Amino acid sequence: MDLSCPLLCVRKLSICYGRRPVVTDVTFGVTERQIVAVVGPNGAGKTTILKAIAGLIRPIHGEIIFKGEHTESLSVQDMVRRGVVYVPEGMNVFPHMSVEENLEVGAYLHRRGLRERLKTVYEIFPELYSKRNRPAGALSGGEQRMLTVGRGLMARVTLLLLDDPFLGLSPRITHRLCDALHEMKRQGITLLIAGQHIKRLLTAADWGFLIEDGHITLSGSGSDLLQNDHLRQVLFGRVPLETIGIAGVYD
Ligand SMILES: Nc1ncnc2c1ncn2[C@@H]1O[C@H](COP(=O)(O)OP(=O)(O)OP(=O)(O)O)[C@@H](O)[C@H]1O
């Protein structure tokens, strides 16, 4: 676990909903220009961790340090201003607005440099450029997902927090989105990605961790985690590795 992290440090993070603890003593670091995967069973606390980093949820205990600054008590707007953007699961587009207008919404706190950022998003997602004047509601599901991710990029993002980005996508579009994630990393963006597409996520990730019932129980490189017996037991049952990912959400 890398705790000498220059970009994001999460230390002993604990979060409750009401009186119920859902994240307990979670500690991890994210180094700049890494892709980090957060994997775990349903309800393990993955989304909650991402939301806390984004300023959507207040932890009851622990530290979140972004670029050396404590951010646990900052708002979502404060975090967006610092370049930390959360993209929730689903296709949350404004259906009657054009693709380009949807992207411009993402730049509402950072209007300067908007044209350059649009260009960058269109480089990463050329599919959006060719449909930039169409209503977002007319895009396919995969294109709408690209649009939600692209809108996140418009906020002059440094750290992109992606929640289940592959959910409901075909294998072809999932593959396409993975290529886009690598392109974002190449362009200097750091990605923290939670999800259930374990094989895809851990294959794409430089590093990842397993979260079970609000606790980190394993961490390591994506490839090491994929080989780990405990992770395979928790997430796949006793399935041989070579059969994982033939079908279903675990691809
Ligand atoms: N707003 C909320 N109020 C109360 N409990 C919540 C709330 N949001 C989530 N929970 C509960 O907190 C726990 C962790 O939820 P979280 O969404 O972080 O899990 P997750 O690992 O992202 O799950 P999934 O993979 O199903 O999205 C779950 O038991 C969930 O039911």
**Total structural domains within the chain:** 1
Is 167 a domain residue? no
What span, in angstroms and rounded, lies between the C-alpha atoms of 207 and 217?
14
Distance in Å, CA 43 to ligand 1 centroid? 5
pLDDT attached to residue 85: 95
Distance in Å, CA 194 to ligand 1 centroid? 13
> What ipTM describes this predicted complex?
0.96
pLDDT tens per residue, range 114-142: 899 999 999 999 999 999 999 999 999 99
The residue type found at 58 is: R
Task: Indicate if ligand 1 lies below 6 Å from the C-beta of 197.
Answer: no
Residues 6-14 have a mean pLDDT of 94
pLDDT tens per residue, range 178-188: 999 999 999 99
Is 50 a domain residue? yes
Mean pLDDT of the chain: 89
pLDDT attached to residue 5: 56
Task: Indicate if ligand 1 lies below 6 Å from the C-beta of 42.
Answer: yes
Adjacent-strand bridge partners of 63:
11
Is 124 a domain residue? no
In the chain, which ranges are continuous DSSP H helix? 46-54, 76-81, 99-105, 114-124, 126-130, 141-153, 171-186, 198-204, 222-227, 229-236
Is 17 a domain residue? yes
Domain limits for position 6: 1-81+197-245
Is 57 a domain residue? yes
Q: What is the CATH number of the domain that holds 212?
A: 3.40.50.300
Task: Indicate if ligand 1 lies below 6 Å from the C-beta of 144.
Answer: no
Is 43 a domain residue? yes
Is 234 a domain residue? yes
pLDDT-based confidence at 249, cuts 50/70/90? Answer: very low
Answer yes or no: is pLDDT of 40 > 60: yes
Is 201 a domain residue? yes
Adjacent-strand bridge partners of 65:
9, 70
